[in-house]
Structure formats: structure tokens, C-alpha cells
Amino acid sequence: MLLALYQRIGESDCETIGSGFLAQPINAISSLAFAVIGLAAMWWATRVQGNERVVRVVFGVLMVLTGAGSVMFHGPQGPGSQFGHDVTFLVTVWFVAVVNVAVTLRWKRAFSWALIIVGGLVISLALVLSPGLTNVLMVVTVILLVISDVTLHRKGRVRTRWYVASLVAIIAAVVMFLLGRTGAPLCDPDSLFQGHGVWHLLGAVALGAYFVATSDSRIPEGNRDET
């Protein structure tokens, strides 16, 4: 039973599934890119005060958890690894989307944080009850992020270079994700080059760059740092 489960986990991500602690070593190690970005965000939090410091720390923690969840999914692949892999990334995207909307609509902090928590719990419960909802929830959270991004741009407080960098990174990440899937043109199960691993690297960079790009919108005019 467990062997069958292990064979299903990660089988669409091309890399050969081995029997060691890191079943898919390239995909597992590349997942640490999310954690690296998360740690950088927590260090960056020391540059500011107030609510933005909390936002940066929470984003950093979520990114670290996303990395850990992905490592567990591609590494030990034990029970619950699928849930940990999916829920951490989805909640991170949800968090960024709500933060964007909270700024543009000038929501009270208590309300926005309550919405973040409730949304995270709903996502978690949905995945527990029906793991197959991952793709649906992904589409919903990404759509919400895009909508929040449009509203944010109306304020004209986005760091253009970081924003462009995030767009380039996410487009490249999606291309590598699709081309690196099992059976796709770039898939070579035994190669050190794994498209899914590149997806991890570029996806982490895209999220980090986007978070930096939108930071000015969250900070009062006179309190912005230079980072």
C-alpha cells in the first residue's frame, strides 16, 4: 500500500523516484529555493517597523514552510506530504492576494488578518476533505492574486524593475513546469537537469520579486526603506 502511494507521489514531475531519503533528489533540493527567499524576507523585515514588518515575517515563514512542504513531497514522500506540499503554496498565494486588496481597499488590519486566517483554514479543510481540489484551488487563488494586482496597479505604487523581474520569472517558471512534466519534451527522468526543479527556482524568485515589487504600496510615503 505505502509503495503504491510513493509511486504516485511526484510521478508526474519526471524525475525518477528512488528508494532513498530523497526519492527525487533534484526536485527536493531545488525546493529549498522557497526557504531561501523566505529567510531573506524575514531578514528584510528588520528594515521596517509596524504592520509591514509583520507582513514580511509572515510571508517569510510561509515561504519557508512552502519549501519544507515541497522537500517532504519530493524527498521522504511520507503520509501527509501531498497536503503539506499543496497547502503551503496555496496559502502563500492567498496571503499575498489579501495583503494587496487590504491595501487598495484600506481594510482595517484586524479584518484583513482575520480574512487571511479564515481563508487559510478553508483551503486546509478543503484539501483534507478532497485532495483532488488542489488544481481548482490553485486557479481560484491565482485569479484572486491577478485581480488584487490590477487594483494595486491603479495606485501606481509598484517597483517596476522588481515587477518586471517577477513577470519574467513566472513566465519562464510556467514554461519549465510544462516542458519538464513526465512525458514532456524536456523530461529525462535520470538527468541532473530537471525542469520541475527549475520551476522551483524560478517560482521562488517570482514570488520573492513580486513581494518586493509591491512593498511600497504597504508602507506610508515617508517611511519607505531603500531596499
User: How far is the CA of 153 from the CAs of 8, 138, 147, 217, in angstroms?
Assistant: 41, 22, 10, 9
| Beta carbons within 10 angstroms of residue 143's beta carbon | 11
Cα–Cα distance between 214 and 100 in angstroms, integer? 8
Decide if 29 contacts 192 (C-beta within 8 A): no
* CATH for the 21-223 domain, from 1.20.1070.10, 1.20.58.220, 3.40.630.30, 1.20.1090.10: 1.20.1070.10
For residue 22 the three cell numbers come to: 530523497
Nearest to 211 by CA among 175, 168, 158: 158
Cα–Cα distance between 32 and 43 in angstroms, integer? 17
pTM summary value: 0.90
Which pLDDT score, from 0 to 100, does residue 154 have?
A: 72
Cα–Cα distance between 97 and 59 in angstroms, integer? 12
3-class SS shares of the chain: helix, strand, coil, % to 5 = 75, 0, 25
Cα–Cα distance between 81 and 209 in angstroms, integer? 27
Which pLDDT score, from 0 to 100, does residue 45 have?
A: 96
Which pLDDT score, from 0 to 100, does residue 114 have?
A: 97
| Beta carbons within 10 angstroms of residue 93's beta carbon | 20
How would you write the pLDDT of the chain (227 residues) with one tens digit per residue? 333 333 445 578 899 999 889 999 999 999 999 999 999 999 999 999 999 999 999 999 999 999 999 999 999 988 899 999 999 999 999 999 999 999 888 899 999 999 999 999 999 999 999 988 888 998 899 899 998 888 887 766 789 999 999 999 999 999 999 999 999 999 999 999 999 999 999 999 999 999 999 998 888 665 555 45
Domain boundaries, the chain: 21-223
Which pLDDT score, from 0 to 100, does residue 156 have?
A: 62
Which pLDDT score, from 0 to 100, does residue 97 have?
A: 94
Which pLDDT score, from 0 to 100, does residue 44 have?
A: 96
Cα–Cα distance between 15 and 17 in angstroms, integer? 6
Nearest to 32 by CA among 203, 212, 213, 211: 203
Q: How far is CA 112 from the centre of its chain?
A: 20
